[in-house]
Amino acid sequence: MRLQVKVLRDTVPEPVKAYAEKRLAKLGKRLHPQTLVEVTLSRERNPSIRDGYSAEAVVHTKGPNIVARVSAPTYEAAVDQLLEKLERQIERHRDKKVLEPRRAASKQGAPSAEVAPVSEETEGARGEEAA
């Protein structure tokens, strides 16, 4: 997994960037090594906005991109919440890729409730019981 941490309209201390990289490296277990994850940290300068620190991530996967955005009182809290959201979305995406083709194949290949052909032996036994 390739991780890029960007900052918009602000300077972020190096420990915050290191924290974000450390926490989001956890996604590497669930993603292909060549997958690009872009994380953008930003801050709103309005005092009336309580959750002014936000983190946004875009995971460039094969197929649709996975996007998540979170606002929190600190950068660390925003990164933690972002990680939880991304884990859920990536797991759901992975399940769809793996399980849906299996479900479709099992529906097509499943034997329907066919009536088994009756052999002569069972037919003769039935005729004797009826007589």
Q: For the chain, which residues make up each domain, given as ranges?
A: 2-105
Kindly report, residue by residue over 64-112, the tens digit of the pLDDT.
Answer: 999 999 999 999 999 999 999 999 999 999 888 888 777 788 888 755 5
CATH number of 2-105: 3.30.160.100
CB 19 within 8 A of CB 13: no
Residue 114 clears pLDDT 70, i.e. is over it: no
Provide the CB-side half-sphere exposure for 84 (13 A, CA). 6
Calculate helix-pair angle for 75-109, 14-24, nearest 10 degrees: 20
pLDDT grade for 63, boundaries at 50, 70 and 90 = confident
